[in-house]
Amino acid sequence: MESNNRFDKEYEVQYEHHWEKLQQALAQDHMEGFRSEFLDMHPYDQAIFFMEQEKEARLQIYTYLSPEEVGDIMESMNEEDTQVLMGEMDPRFASMVLAEMSADNAVDILNELEKDQVASFLTIMEKESAEEIKQLLHYEEKTAGSIMTTEFVATYKNYMAKQTMQALKEEAPDAETIYYLYVLDEEKRLVGVLSLRDLIVADEETLIEDIMSEKIVAVSVGKDQEEVAQMMRDYDFLALPVVDFQDHLLGIITVDDILDVMEEEASEDYSKLAGVSDMDKPDDNAFVSARKRLPWLVILLFLGMFTASLIGRFEETLNQVAVLAIFIPLIAGMAGNTGTQALAVAVRGLANGDYGKQGKWKLVMREACTGLINGIVCGIVITIVIYLWKDDIYLGLLVGISIAATLLVATLAGALVPMLMDRMKIDPAVASGPFITTINDIISILIYFGMATAFMGFLIQ
């Protein structure tokens, strides 16, 4: 632990030293001094320094760096920061930067721009890079095709190890990864995979066909990126080949791209669980944020009105036993809480692919038993509390039985609703916390006042 702290402190001191010298070089307009210090930093640290500068300072830095060097910085930035840079760079310089970046990362940036801006950048860009980016732009967003890169190393099964090693030396500088080499047949179909280790230890005259592995795990170009992420996690791959319907190799998806996908999907699921159609960005103004949140709120508003009208139908019951109104928030709150707990478990399991068909029914049975146990315990507790408080055993039994039944049904609803949505090919995260809470409010009110009507003869004595 002490050793780690020592390295952390040394790194902080070194980083602050770089920071001070960079600021000094900028102030003195000393390009060589700035480049010497700046390029000695890790690209991630470069990106942090770059984005903490004022716009005028960034415009100055652009004149110090090449398009390739700026591209390396943008590879380490998040989506919001890259959009800021694209908006302030000279279009011709920006197109050169995009051309120097990995094609898949360039496509991610272009996908966030207006179509006329994209067309403008591609027109200015050199033809070869523009064609490569155009191919990836054609694929539907959030599919394997949209996140793959075409910068990979492939060889042919009838090549010898010596030929393949020579080709690897030539192509490696531009490849995304060289840990895997993909083996093609004469028709450029994927037929095998070869690790760099196997290639290195093989005899120079050995045919690739003899040392390659035919146990290939590949994904279709149209496969959803979340499913691709699950495959990468399950198989512990550093890269995954992407093929068309005839098994032609189109590109590869690397682990760094999958980490971005996992972060994006987690953020998206979290926003849906919060009842937000699209997670707010830090630079969104109040009107933009309101527009993103309003759709869910309007839907929940109408559901809330339905709940209110439902209570209105039991107005006569409330008039006869007014004390029932005291426990409405308790019943509804407990239903919402337990439903949200079951929802979180179900959505997480479905998102991670933890449940097969048998696993889903096992989850439902477990949640039913959990809801029943929790309901019985909470029901007994609240019955005793109300009896001691109001000196009315029938009122205590009414609320206690209602709590027990509500927790059982709400827990089942929290588990079953996302599974039903998944069966209908709808994102389970759409069964958001506010949505399932409102649904359980309706269920709990029906149970509570239904039980109250049944207990009416005992309550008005």
Which pLDDT does position 1 carry in this prediction? 46
pLDDT above 70: residue 337:
yes
pLDDT confidence of residue 70: 92
Task: Tell me the CATH class for 18-138.
Answer: mainly alpha
**Can you give the pLDDT at residue 8?**
56
Whether residue 137 contacts residue 111, with contact meaning beta carbons closer than 8 Å, is answered with yes
CA–CA dist 400, 312 (Å, integer): 23
Residue ranges, comma separated, of all CATH 1.25.60.10 domains in the chain are: 18-138
Given this model, what pLDDT does residue 383 score? Answer: 92
Instruction: Provide the mean pLDDT of the chain.
Output: 82
Res. 66 pLDDT band, cuts 50 70 90: very high
Kindly state the average pLDDT of the residues 142-167.
Answer: 90
Separation between Cα atoms, residue 199 and residue 210, nearest integer Å: 11
437-448 average pLDDT score: 83
Distances from the Cα of 360 to the Cα of 48, 208, 338, 409, 419, angstroms: 44, 44, 19, 17, 8
Query: Which strands, in side-by-side order, build the sheet including 154-156?
Result: 154-156, 180-184, 190-195
Phi, psi of 193 (to 5 degrees): -140, 145
More confident residue, 47 or 346: 47
Q: How confident is the model at residue 14 (pLDDT cuts 50, 70, 90)?
A: low
pLDDT in tens, 70-123: 999 998 888 888 888 998 999 999 999 999 888 888 888 888 888 888 888 888
Higher pLDDT, 349 or 106: 106
Fold of 286-459: Tetracycline Repressor; domain 2 (1.10.357)
Residue-wise pLDDT for 397-425, tens only, equals 988 999 999 999 888 888 888 888 777 77
For residue 132, what pLDDT is reported? 85
Q: What are the distances in angstroms from CA 220 to CA 21, 282, 311, 353?
A: 49, 35, 52, 18
Per-residue pLDDT, 270:
56
Quick one: which of 155, 171, 172 has its CA closest to 211?
A: 155
Q: Are 83 and 108 in contact (CB under 8 A)?
A: no
* Span 170-228, pLDDT tens digits: 888 878 888 889 999 988 899 999 988 999 999 999 999 999 999 889 999 999 888 88
SS3 284: coil
List the single range of 6-15, 86-95, 136-145 with lowest mean pLDDT. 6-15
Q: CATH 1.10.357.20 in the chain, residues?
A: 286-459
Which among 45, 147, 153, 57 is positioned nearest to 102, based on CA atoms? 147
Report the share of the chain in percent with pLDDT over 70: 85
Rg of the chain over Cα atoms, rounded to whole angstroms, equals: 30
Q: Look at residue 12 and tell me whether its pLDDT is greater than 80.
A: no
Domain ranges in the chain with CATH number 3.10.580.10: 154-270
Confidence check: pLDDT of 384 > 90: yes
Task: Assess if CATH 3.10.310.30 describes domain 154-270.
Answer: no
More confident call, 334 vs 319: 334
- Which DSSP string do the residues of 85-114 spell out, in sequence order? HHHHS-HHHHHHHHHHS-HHHHHHHHTTS-
pLDDT over 90, % of the chain:
21
